Structure 1
Amino acid sequence: MHHITPVILCGGSGTRLWPLSRTAFPKQFLVLSGKTTLFQQAVERLQALKNPFTILNETLIVTNEEHRFLVLDQLREMKDVNAKLLLEPIGRNTAPALTLAALQAINNKEDPILVVTPSDQTLQDQTAFSRSLHDAFEGASNGSVVVLGIKPTKPDTGFGYIKINKSEEGHRAFKVLNFTEKPDLSTAEKYVESGEYFWNSGMFVLKASVWLKAIQHFSPDIYEATLKAFNQKTQDALFIRPGEDLFKAIPTNSIDYAVIEKCPQSDFEIKMIELDAGWNDLGSWDAVWQAGDKDKNQNVVYGDTLLENTKNSLVYADHKLVSVAGLDNIIVIETSDAILVIDRNQSQEVKMIVNKLSIEKREEKNLHRKVSRPWGWYDSIDEGENFKVKRIQVYPGASLSLQKHLKRAEHWVVVKGIAEVICNDKRIILKENESTYIPLGHTHRLSNPGKDELEIIEVQSGTYLGEDDILRFEDTYGRCD
């Protein structure tokens, strides 16, 4: 009987899938394959491991404080998922993230097997995935570190490679000889030709105690700093927060660099089990094309599209009709505020575009026009000199913070549902087609007391309309100033 704790690493910014993926809404929360998000697929895959010989503990999700409500919203859409969220105040890469999860896993004096997976990959064959993991449980229960490896389909320079000893095999587990991170093309070609190398999937199976011993041995600075932050943790419902200042002092490093690549030729036994389940890490728009359903011309399309004499292309229409004619091997991604057109073979160059957006401090790097909030969402539908128009939706029973603005006034028109409005010492109820005015500097709050979604149109007017012109006095979601 194996005691299993799923660990889902839900960090990262997903910049290689810009403009669909943004810093505040990274790729794991997008629907890019199938009908659910990549994060939801990761949760479902691990939930499916439960069987008469496996006890499945609560899922541990390590994510950024900023993304906590995105995670909760997507968990609510799923059934019977018992989870805790470990919230990082700032990203410190995957080694501290897994250390947090391992410390939480042994918190109840248990030593479960951790199944560690990124939240932004796709797999086509759940049965093959489960079979590989159950094979991995055997090695992990005996104290081994087990990594899932992918047989290369081409000499790709974007992956880490695992060299195995093919003459040794037990429970389909091969001894790992060494790791190579992202080799050049000629080296990758030799690796693929040899048949002794596999891609590193980023999925690991090992006991919580084994990880803690390994991180303490190979990277004691990360272990000690993470332990101090964990010991200062606070818990609020499903949220577990390590000590913020202590966590920010943790050295940043990945699981691979901090531990995994140091295990061969050490006292920590490391093995690899092949995963043949249609794996794709969706690390570029070309990878999204590779994983997509193709038509007779090898095109992958999403949304409202028209293609003529176009082949081998990916066309994604989010808001508008996108028409493409007479082109081959291209990618077109349309969102409400940005369009990307790029050669499919150059799709990794998206990161250069994102770098330029960062240098120019453009909001298109971080936010979509439609922005998710814990109470609902807003969509900035128009903007000009001294005005901005937003469409705002508030979930049933939800409220925005009690707040005021120093540089703008607001006009609200209810187009759906019922609104409760507080403005200074006044409280009013607005129904469809009714409106109100929030003068500059007045303390106010918008709430939805009904059972259906509330939707309003907000017109802001003032000399400055930035999102940082807000002073919060009360907030349900812990965002008070």
Structure 2
Amino acid sequence: MSSNLVPCIIAGGSGTRLWPVSRYTMPKPFIRLHDDETLLQKTLRRAAAVTDSGKLLTVVNRELLFRFLDDYRALQLQEDCELVLEPFGRNTAAAVLLCALRVRELCGGQAQLLVLPADHLIQDEPAFAEAVRRAQELAGQGYLVTFGLQPEYPETGFGYIRTGDALGEAGYQVAEFLEKPELELAQEFVASGSHLWNSGMFCMSVDTLLTEAERYVPSLLQSVEACWQQGQHASGQDYEQVELDAETFAMVEDVSIDIALMERSDRVAVVPCRLGWSDIGSWQAVSSLAPADEQGNRIQGEVILHDTRNCYIDSPSRLTAAVGVEGLMVVDTPDALLIAHEDRSQEVKVIAERLKEKGHPAFLGHLTTVRPWGTYTVLRDDDGYKIKRIVVKPGASLSLQAHHHRSEHWIVVSGTAEVVNGEHSFLLRTNESTFIRIGEKHRLSNPGLIELVLIEVQCGEYLGEDDIVRYEDVYGRDTSGEPV
């Protein structure tokens, strides 16, 4: 392990090929695999194992802050949690340069960055640690280092790296970066023995990165520095954050670190490695993580099969049956069902793109929505009324708020609720309820040690999540109409 190394995790992958599980408000790094850990959690744990600098830095969208903290806190890591909060995505060049500026503040220019996407899976962690050691050796010599994966088959969905001169036993200079090839060219790359998959992981010193950025992309660096200077620093209970200014961040070029710098610099090296790596880029990749039965079927949930072969069926919430089918990917969620042929699982992104164009709710989020205080699930949404199941974490509290267009009935299912309703404060226990009139200030809290579960029935002419005025909020949210 190295005390000079700061892992920098880029948690920005959208994962449209993993719809309907991956969505805008719950992107790919936050989806849970079959072992109930998210890709983000696996990345955080893996990053903590290769450094003793005591710090983990993550770049993540501001709207995903509390979802991130839930995943981070569940791991109970000892490292300090440092966060850079983006108002919206601006690709990897901006994210990596922002990490460099933050690490320079924390540890100085000689510190090294280990840049890791939050949505990749690495199963051979000893091999990963050895690859990081070799990358640090080359980074110490002034190289921008990338990790090149030994290709296992002619993949057309990845970029490739052609190796150049050897740099001792640690790696090679990069001769050329190559775009995603057609199948015939990918076969030639694999047969050559001199081409590696481009993993999107990097290691470099802060000073080297900023020097090369000043040389090749000075305007990009200047715009990132200007944005950084406008960032707002704040501290949470167990984390430090820098929230970027949206206006100046919008001026930053939307470009990848590969295009902006790695493909242009003459100081780029590659470490070849075999890591048991996958970018989990499709449902076919996800299915490979589950054990297969004698007919090649991989199932999650309650599934009944007859004369069915080589199918992946993920149906955690309801019984699914399949008869006489082969080679299908079936993924069931409460509000959307995906059926695709295994050979065309990459094309799921087309469905997600069409839903995005329509502004369809099945692109934006799930029926269950995560909030800093817990979750709510829409059970029914119809003209004039909406029914929700609300779960509040122990010790958590919703904002003090009011609604202009709806009244609410709260019925406690389990746990104890502490309620502010107008001028009255009181406790509600299982099977007790209260009614909140339109325009009445109210707050819901959980004073207990177990989750509070209640049913909320809303009635009114307008039931949108933006019908809210906040008066007080322990999570620092404003009163501009942000949904609770």
Question: Paired residue for 2:304?
Answer: 306
Alpha-carbon distance, 1:447 to partner: 1.1
* Correspondence for 2:66: 69
Query: Given that residues 390 and 458 in structure 1 are in contact (C-alpha distance below 8 angstroms), is that contact kept between their aligned partners in structure 2?
Result: yes
**CA separation in 1, counterparts of 2:215 and 2:422?**
59
Q: CA deviation at 1:433?
A: 0.9
TM-score between the two structures when normalised by the length of structure 2: 0.94
* Pairwise CA distance, 1:283: 0.8
CA distance in 1, matches of 2:291, 2:28: 19
Residues 18-40 of structure 1: CA distance to partner in whole angstroms, max 9, x if unpaired? Answer: 00111101121122253411101
TM-superposed deviation, 1:163? 0.6
Query: Unaligned 5+ residue runs, structure 1?
Result: none
Deviation (angstroms), 1:168: 2.3
Give the whole-Å Cα distance in 2 for the aligned partners of 1:243 and 1:358: 26
- Inter-partner Cα distance in structure 2 for 1:109 and 1:356: 45
- Once the two structures are superposed, what CA deviation does each residue of 1:343-400 show, in whole Å capped at 9, x if it has no partner? 1111111111112111221111011111111000001112222111100011111111
**SS at 2:407's partner residue?**
strand
Does the residue aligned with 1:390 lie in a helix, a strand or coil?
Answer: strand
Q: CA deviation at 1:83?
A: 1.3
What is residue 123 of structure 1 aligned with on the other side? 122
From 179, 193, 196, the counterpart of 1:195:
193
Instruction: Give the whole-Å Cα distance in 1 for the aligned partners of 2:293 and 2:262.
Output: 41
Q: Which residue of 1 aligns with 2:245?
A: 243
Structure 2: segments with no counterpart, 5+ residues:
480-484
Checking the alignment, whether the CA contact within 8 Å between 1:3 and 1:57 is kept in structure 2 is no
Report SS of the residue matched to 1:319. strand
- Contact 1:99/1:226 (<8 A) preserved: yes
* Cα displacement (A) at 1:271: 1.3
Report the CA distance between 1:436 and its aligned residue.
0.5
**Are the counterparts in 2 of residues 120 and 282 from structure 1 also a CA contact under 8 Å?**
yes
- Please tell me whether the aligned partners of residues 280 and 291 of structure 1 are also in contact (alpha carbons under 8 angstroms): no
**In 2, distance between residues paired with 1:393 and 1:307?**
35
Where does residue 328 of structure 2 map in the other structure? Answer: 330
The match for 2:26 is 25
2:9 counterpart SS class: strand
The CA deviation string for residues 37-80 of structure 1, in whole angstroms up to 9 with x for no partner, is 11010011111114xxxx42401000000100011111111122
Whether contact under 8 Å (2:54, 2:79) holds in the other structure is: no
Partner SS, residue 46 of structure 2: helix
Count how many residue pairs are aligned between Structure 1 and Structure 2: 472
Deviations 1:180-235 (Å, cap 9, x if unpaired)?
12122332222222222111111101111111122222222221111111122222
Point out the more displaced range, 107-116 or 61-70: 107-116
Write the distance in 1 (CA, Å) between the matches of 2:128 and 2:87: 32
TM-score (norm. length: structure 1): 0.95
In structure 2, what is the Cα distance between the partners aligned to 1:429 and 1:199? 59
Superposition pairs for residues 151-170 of structure 1, below 5 Å?
151-165=150-164, 168-170=166-168
Contact 2:161–2:197, Cα closer than 8 Å, also in 1: yes
CA shift for structure 1 position 14: 1.6
Contact kept in structure 1, 2:300 and 2:313, CA below 8 Å: yes
Q: Which residue of 2 aligns with 1:281?
A: 279
Aligned mates of 1:380, 1:434 — CA distance in 2: 21
| Equivalent residue number for residue 461 of structure 1 | 459
1:58 to 47, 55, 58: 55
* Equivalent residue letter for 1:83: C
Question: Could you tell me which residue of structure 1 aligns to residue 95 of structure 2?
Answer: 97
Map of 2:346 onto structure 1: 348
Whole-Å Cα distance in 1 between the matches of residues 288 and 365 of structure 2? 27
Q: Deviations over 1:255-305 (max 9, x none)?
A: 111111112xx3xx2111122111000011112123433333222222222
Q: Pick from 255, 262, 271 the counterpart of residue 257 of structure 2.
A: 255
Match of 2:406 among 405, 408, 414: 408
Q: Which residue of 1 aligns with 2:7?
A: 6
Aligned positions of 1:422-433 closer than 5 A: 422-433=420-431
In 1, Cα distance between the equivalents of 2:187 and 2:34?
29
Give 1:135's aligned residue: 134
Task: Choose which of 438, 443, 467 in structure 1 pairs with 2:441.
Answer: 443
CA RMSD across the alignment: 1.6
Q: Which amino acid aligns with 2:66?
A: F
Amino acid at match of 2:148: G
State how far apart, in whole Å, the 1-side matches of 2:428 and 2:125 are.
50
What is the rounded CA distance, in whole Å, between the counterparts of 1:34 and 1:125 in structure 2?
16
Of stretches 443-452 and 21-30 in structure 1, the one that deviates more from structure 2 is: 443-452
Displacement of 1:337: 0.7
Q: For 1:32 and 1:318, locate their aligned partners in 2 and report how far apart those are by CA, in whole Å.
A: 12
Is the contact between residue 4 and residue 57 of structure 1 (CA under 8 Å) also seen in structure 2? no
Shift of 1:169: 4.7
Residue type at the aligned position of 1:419: A
CA distance in 1, matches of 2:207, 2:71: 30
**Cα distance in 1 between the residues matched to 2:415 and 2:62:** 31
Change (3 A) 1:454 1:390: same
Residue of structure 1 equivalent to 2:211: 213
SS of the aligned residue for 2:318 comes to: coil
CA-to-aligned-CA distance 1:432-456 (integer Å, 9 cap, x gap)? 1110011112221111122221111
Q: State how far apart, in whole Å, the 2-side matches of 1:443 and 1:176 are.
A: 62
Alignment check: 8 A CA contact 1:62 1:97 kept: yes
- Provide the identity percentage: 39
